Chains A and B, each alone.
Chain A
């Protein structure tokens, strides 16, 4: 059994993604840079403590009210943490851009976070998997686990 696997409630992940989308779009519509900054902070704090940032929306309201049921799966929580952390950094950069007057850049970055969260929520797109896939495909060192050419399966690579 892979020791990195734990039971992960995918419902809390989906609620987190949905809340991020709603909050950021609301921030755009109402022109509230502070809301973008708050979302970024919650995402980054969530990443630091290893939980979805908006877990309190799920555990505090949606699950007790029976509006969302748990969806428990054996999964590795690290890619989800990576996705939230990446999104949090982009959201933070967005907030900074907005506060220094870079409205176009700031809102463009906000919509990037919305797009990534929406892809994850509606399509099951895994940002970490995509990064690894493209780094491997582009031949970036460190992202390939393929054996050196000429190595027979199960054998050590030849020296020299």
Chain B
């Protein structure tokens, strides 16, 4: 019994450590993206936006992420700008924004400041909720 309790504590510590590591990594990615946000020439100030990093080989980008972004664009229309970046063609941009995988989406506020990052597929609902939080 004592061993099980000890192992349960180890499991909690490992899981907690993993979550903290993920939060720290995400914060660092956001911080670096904020420092380099001016590298994104196509962003128009005054509108919140989504910067969407993808590559031609990324299946999940085509099958799940792009439809989610299309659904969001249809819902929000002109009150949202979506900038798609081919990370294979623009490795400089991917490096500047610390893109670790694709798809990766950054939610930008009206000033072009990255406020959220999703390293993986993000549903339309999740993106909509994040957009709402940046106003």
Q: A30-B4, A119-B120 are in contact. Are A129 and B11 (CB under 8 A)?
A: no
Q: Does B70 contact A (CB under 8 A)?
A: no
Q: Which residues of A in the span 1-56 have a Cβ within 8 Å of any Cβ on B? A: 2, 5, 25, 28-31
Q: Does A132 contact B (CB under 8 A)?
A: yes
The answer to whether B11 and A25 have CB atoms under 8 Å apart is yes
The answer to whether A124 and B59 have CB atoms under 8 Å apart is no
Contact code string B3-46 (vs A, CB < 8 Å = 1, else 0): 11001101100110010001000000000000000000000000
The answer to whether B89 and A146 have CB atoms under 8 Å apart is yes
Q: A118-B18, A133-B101, A133-B102 are in contact. Are A126 and B120 (CB under 8 A)?
A: yes
Q: Which residues of A in the span 142-160 have a Cβ within 8 Å of any Cβ on B? A: 143-146
Contact code string A50-85 (vs B, CB < 8 Å = 1, else 0): 000000000000000000000001111011000000
Q: A25-B11, A133-B102 are in contact. Are A125 and B120 (CB under 8 A)?
A: yes
Cα distance, A133 to B119, chains bound together (Å): 13
The answer to whether B64 and A75 have CB atoms under 8 Å apart is yes
Considering the complex, give the chain A residue whose CB is closest to the CB of B9: A29
Q: Does B63 contact A (CB under 8 A)?
A: yes
Q: Does A115 contact B (CB under 8 A)?
A: yes
Which of A29, A74, A115, A118 sits near B11, CB closer than 8 Å? A29
Count how many chain B residues have C-beta atoms less than 8 Å from C-beta atoms of the other chain. 36
Cα distance, A2 to B58, chains bound together (Å): 14
The answer to whether B18 and A31 have CB atoms under 8 Å apart is no
Cα distance, A29 to B11, chains bound together (Å): 7
A–B pairs, 18, beta carbons within 8 Å: A25-B11, A28-B11, A31-B4, A73-B63, A73-B67, A75-B63, A79-B59, A119-B120, A123-B119, A126-B103, A126-B120, A128-B60, A129-B60, A129-B102, A133-B55, A133-B87, A133-B102, A143-B57
Q: Beyond the given A2-B63, A128-B59, A129-B102, could you list 14 further A-B residue pairs with CB under 8 A, ordered by the A residue number?
A: A25-B15, A29-B7, A29-B11, A73-B67, A79-B59, A123-B22, A124-B120, A125-B120, A126-B58, A129-B61, A136-B55, A136-B57, A136-B88, A145-B56
